[in-house]
């Protein structure tokens, strides 16, 4: 089952934790702000693989710049 993951770049403080826990899903722009690695322009993406890694990144994000929905 896939899970909808949304990112809110305005909240991001460029701490780097999401890329540490889910490097295949999350990346950063030149200012260190979160974006999706495969779809840099998107603000939401369905996650089918690596759901555990995305959940960990969500849990570790100190400003809740990552939102998960079922």
Secondary structure, 3-state, 2-28: CEEEEECHHHCCCCCHHHHHCCCCEEE
The fold of the 3-69 domain, in CATH, is Alpha-Beta Plaits (3.30.70)
> Could you read off the pLDDT of 47-62 as tens digits, one per residue?
998 999 999 999 999 9
Tell me the C-alpha distance between 5 and 31, whole Å. Answer: 21
> Could you read off the pLDDT of 15-68 as tens digits, one per residue?
999 999 999 999 999 999 999 999 999 999 999 989 999 999 999 999 999 999
Domain definitions of the chain by residue range = 3-69
């Amino acid at each position: 089952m896939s899970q909808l993951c949304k990112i809110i770049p305005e909240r991001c403080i460029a701490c780097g934790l999401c890329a540490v826990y889910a490097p295949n899903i999350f990346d950063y722009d030149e200012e260190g702000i979160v974006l999706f690695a495969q779809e840099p322009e998107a603000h939401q993406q369905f996650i089918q693989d690596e759901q555990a890694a995305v959940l960990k990144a969500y849990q570790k994000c100190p400003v809740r710049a990552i939102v998960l929905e079922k």
